[in-house]
Structure 1
Amino acid sequence: MIEVTPTIALEEGEIEMVPIRASGPGGQNVNKVSSAVQLRFDAAGSPSLPDPVKARLPAIAGSRMTKEGVIVITAQVYRDQERNRADAIARLVDLIRRAAYRPPPRRPTRPTLASKRRRLDGKTKHARTKSLRGKPPAD
């Protein structure tokens, strides 16, 4: 059981981890040791996630989520597989935590009476300036 929030916990069976070879420098070691980890989590089909979290997750996950609703995270920061596994799980938990946060609804506001007056006074002043730039009236 991986605890994400006090109300959300993921089963370890829902997360699939595959060891892969890391890219980048490292010589012979990088060619023969699979130290990187690719984590796959089916967010769309997960019974552990509530529907509002599933709805917000694609926007937060971005390109890490496939069209089928599977989150793919590749961890290759560390040189050993165990630390990369822990890093991948921590990144998944962080993603789900951010999706679990429900932003407060926006309450529409109205302009105050003083701000309306300031706007109208500014318009009047601007109109007066413009009218003074015209031709003088013929007598």
Structure 2
Amino acid sequence: MIPVTARISLDEGEIEESFVRASGPGGQNVNKVSTAVELRFDAARSPSLPEGVRARLRGLAGRRMTREGIIVIDAQRFRTREQNRADALERLLELIRAASIVPKTRRPTRPTLASKERRLAGKERRGRIKTLRQSRPERHD
């Protein structure tokens, strides 16, 4: 079991890893060794995730989640397979940790009477300043 939070743990069998050749710099090594990791986690059918976390995960994962609810994480930042595996797993765990945080519900508030009066007094003051700036044409009677 892989601990994610105090309440959520993932079974190792739910995570599928495949190794592919990495793109980018690396010399001859990049052509010979499959060091990049493609991690797949079926979030939609995972018994480890509560329903609320699963719903928030769909929004947070974005294009990393397929239509079927499988999260795909590609890791090729490092030159060794072990470092890329650890990186991919850590990125998955961070994503699930972020989804496990329940957002606070916003309770709509109304401005107080005093704040409305302060706002109107400020507008009135500003209007008077602008009125004083206006040049009046001279009248010749």
TM-score with structure 1 length normalisation?
A: 0.87
Partners of 2:59 and 2:115 lie apart in 1 by 37
Aligned to 1:137: none
Q: CA RMSD in A?
A: 1.9
Partners of 1:123 and 1:26 lie apart in 2 by 64
Shift of 1:27: 2.1
Partners of 2:2 and 2:64 lie apart in 1 by 20
User: Residues 17 and 130 from structure 1, CA distance in 2 versus in 1: closer, same or farther, beyond 3 angstroms?
Assistant: same
Shift of 1:36: 0.8
Shift of 1:127: 6.7
SS of the residue 2:16 aligns to? strand
Shift of 1:73: 0.4
Within 5 Å, which residues of 2 pair with 1:1-139? 1-124=1-124
Q: Percent identity between the aligned chains?
A: 65
SS of the residue 1:39 aligns to? strand
SS of the residue 2:66 aligns to? coil
SS of the residue 1:45 aligns to? coil
Shift of 1:121: 2.7
Partners of 2:46 and 2:6 lie apart in 1 by 17
Structure 1 portions without partners, runs of 5+: 135-139
SS of the residue 1:46 aligns to? coil
Structure 2 portions without partners, runs of 5+: 137-141
Shift of 1:129: 7.5
Give the aligned residue type for 2:69. Answer: G
